Amino acid sequence: MTCYLLIPAAGSGKRMGADRNKLLLPLLDKPILQWTLEAAIASPAISWIGVIAQPHDYPEFQKIFNRLNTTKPIRLIQGGDTRQASVFNGLKALPTDGDRVLIHDGARCLATPELFDRCDESLQTMQGFIAAVPVKDTIKIVDGQTIVDTPNRDHLWAAQTPQGFQVDLLKNAHLTAVDLGWEVTDDAALFEKVGLEVKIVMGEETNLKVTTPQDLAIAEFILKQRQS
Ligand SMILES: Nc1ccn([C@@H]2O[C@H](COP(=O)(O)OP(=O)(O)OP(=O)(O)O)[C@@H](O)[C@H]2O)c(=O)n1
Ligand SMILES: C[C@](O)(CO)[C@H](O)COP(=O)(O)O
Instruction: Kindly list the structural domains of the chain, giving each domain's residue range(s) and its CATH number in brackets, ordered by start.
Output: 3-227 (3.90.550.10)
Residue 13 Ramachandran class (φ > 0 left, ψ -120 to 50 alpha, else beta): left
Model-wide pTM > 0.90: yes
Measured from the CB, is residue 36 less than 6 Å from ligand 1? no
Ligand 2 pocket mutation pick from 115, 130, 161 by most atoms within 8 angstroms of CB: 161
User: Is the reported ipTM for this assembly greater than 0.95?
Assistant: yes
Atom of ligand 1 at shortest distance to CA of 82? 1
Measured from the CB, is residue 90 less than 6 Å from ligand 1? no
Pairing verdict, β 157-166 and 128-134? antiparallel
- H/E segment holding residue 218: helix 213-227
Measured from the CB, is residue 15 less than 6 Å from ligand 2? no
Ligand 2 pocket mutation pick from 86, 103, 105, 191 by most atoms within 8 angstroms of CB: 105
How many Cα atoms sit within 13 Å of 121 on the Cβ side?
A: 10
For every one of its 228 residues, what pLDDT tens digit does the chain have, with 9 covering 90 and above? 678 999 999 999 999 999 999 999 999 999 999 999 999 999 999 999 999 999 999 999 999 999 999 999 999 999 999 999 999 999 999 999 989 999 999 999 999 999 999 999 999 999 999 999 999 999 999 999 999 999 999 999 999 999 999 999 999 999 999 999 999 999 999 999 999 999 999 999 999 999 999 999 999 999 999 998
Measured from the CB, is residue 86 less than 6 Å from ligand 2? no
> Could you say which ligand is closest to the alpha carbon of residue 11?
1
Residue-level pLDDT at 1? 60
For ligand 2, atom 9, the nearest C-alpha belongs to 185
Please give the C-alpha separations between residue 191 and each of 69, 98, 186, in angstroms, as whole numbers: 35, 19, 9
